[in-house]
Structure 1
Amino acid sequence: MSKFGEKLCFILTWITQGSNYLSAYGYGVMHRMHHAFADTEKDPHSPKYDPNPLAMMWRTKNIYQQINKQKIAIEEKFTKNVPQWKSFDKFASSWYSRIGWGAFYTVFFIIFAEYWWHWLLLPVAILMAPIHGMIINWFGHIYGYVNFKVNDTSKNLFRFDWLMLGEGYHNNHHKFGGRANFGGVRWHEIDVTYMIMLLLEKLGWIKMNRVMATPKREI
């Protein structure tokens, strides 16, 4: 995308993720490391090396912060072409921003929550990012089915990924890490996020690199 579009996405990410804001740089680098070192001791998030999902996500948080604040040495292959906006990341990742969003969510619930059980959704709103990470990186390496034999434990969580909008096809993604469409291997695997990307491309807002055709499943 253009540099303007890139910065606009940073801002829109902060608006839509709120207290869950994740730096494109910090997460992008960590995600590349996850693929390179999947299910080894160097993997930023693998259920093989933590006793429970909360411990895994806490370790992930620490590694993410070290990467984002550039406190650890990272090989250039993991940082190449990853978008970064240091000043905005510093603001959007600050406790002032996160607490401010949390306060906004609380006021929103005070105004609009009509039943007691609505309040159960407040911690979900505040902690959506670690919940999402836990679903994919813990349960997506334990439960589900596989289309491809890979050198890790990645699995496809759902037949139709209604919850993660395509990211639940984790085995497909680990087999073809550079492919934008996580689904499409079986008839029921529909990657909703990829459909959105196709629309954005038709509007001229992004351009995707198509590295391969639809793969055939091996299992």
Structure 2
Amino acid sequence: MVLFIVFVSLWYFSLFFQTFFQHRYAAHSAFTMNKFWERVFYVFTYLAQGSSYMSPRAYAIMHRMHHAYTDTNKDPHSPLYSKNIFTMMWRTRNIYSAIFKGKIMIEERFTKNLPDWPAFDKWAHSTVSRTIWSIGYIALFLYLTPTLWLLLLLPVVLAMGAFHGAIINWYAHKYGYINFRLKNTSQNLLSIDLLMLGEAYHNNHHKKPSEINFGKRWHEIDPVFHVIRLLAWCRIIKL
């Protein structure tokens, strides 16, 4: 029971900072914050994602490319150009890595108003950092597990960000329903999205990428939208 609570907590903490900071803030500039709070959320994102941490800057560039090139051969992660979910995510990994290391030319339109903390990313993105986190997760699971089969959750924890990305980038372009007819395959994967904190309303998001509320119909609950409103009320961010 304790290990399950730990797993669920890691799932939602990692996912929250992905959708709040890397996705809605870094990629889409859906709201603003000062440099102090930007650095605070950098650190929180690292602590929440651990071994699967993604640079907010590199993530934002790749995600902007996804919106600009959705379902074309320039899309970093389109199911139309991959045989299966594993080849798609491996292609995504390679493109993300090339962006982070500066090995590909990036159009200027994808680099405007990006959060950037090179010194922090150098550590957070390093092999040493990922190794330390991985050892910590393994030790925690071995200490807490009441039965060995629960260790099957460990790979999910070690690559949590990739699992989150795979669910949306693959399944939300193949299954679900649409509210808006668009020139791409994006769909709303879940009608009530508590699993992915609103990220599953992918068709809605592709219609209006910079909207802070991914839900459009009465049943489309976006929990992160309400957190954003609270943070704006507290003057931590500005809408």
1:116 Cα shift?
Answer: 2.1
Per the alignment, in what secondary structure is the counterpart of residue 111 of structure 1? Answer: helix
Matched with 2:234 is 203
1:90 aligned onto 2:125: no
Superposition RMSD on alpha carbons, in Å?
0.8
Matched with 2:138 is 106
Question: TM-score if structure 1 supplies the norm length?
Answer: 0.92
1:39 Cα shift?
Answer: 0.1
1:197 Cα shift?
Answer: 0.9
Name which of 69, 73, 97 aligns with 1:41: 73
* Alpha-carbon distance in structure 1 between the residues aligned to 2:74 and 2:53: 24
Question: TM-score if structure 2 supplies the norm length?
Answer: 0.85
* Alpha-carbon distance in structure 1 between the residues aligned to 2:225 and 2:135: 33
Per the alignment, in what secondary structure is the counterpart of residue 172 of structure 2? Answer: helix
1:86 Cα shift?
Answer: 1.0
Provide Cα deviations, 1:170-212, integer angstroms capped at 9, x if missing partner.
00000111111110x211001111111111111111112xxxx
Name which of 172, 175, 182 aligns with 1:140: 172
Matched with 1:9 is 41
Name which of 58, 61, 84 aligns with 1:26: 58
Provide Cα deviations, 1:63-82, integer angstroms capped at 9, x if missing partner.
11111122111111111001
1:114 Cα shift?
Answer: 1.4
Provide Cα deviations, 1:109-128, integer angstroms capped at 9, x if missing partner.
12211122321211111111
Matched with 2:218 is 187
* Alpha-carbon distance in structure 2 between the residues aligned to 1:72 and 1:171: 29
Per the alignment, in what secondary structure is the counterpart of residue 141 of structure 1? Answer: coil
Matched with 2:208 is 176
* Alpha-carbon distance in structure 2 between the residues aligned to 1:154 and 1:78: 21
Matched letter for residue 231 of structure 2: L
Provide Cα deviations, 1:26-85, integer angstroms capped at 9, x if missing partner.
000111110000000100000000000110001101111111122111111111001011
Number of equivalenced pairs:
207
Specify which structure has the higher proportion of helix. 2
Matched letter for residue 119 of structure 2: S
Matched with 1:59 is 91
* Alpha-carbon distance in structure 2 between the residues aligned to 1:51 and 1:86: 35
Provide Cα deviations, 1:103-143, integer angstroms capped at 9, x if missing partner.
00011112211122321211111111111111000001000
* Alpha-carbon distance in structure 2 between the residues aligned to 1:46 and 1:144: 16
Provide Cα deviations, 1:77-106, integer angstroms capped at 9, x if missing partner.
111001011111111111111111010001
* Alpha-carbon distance in structure 1 between the residues aligned to 2:104 and 2:148: 45
Which of structures 1 and 2 has the larger relative contact order (alpha carbons within 8 angstroms, sep 6+)? 2
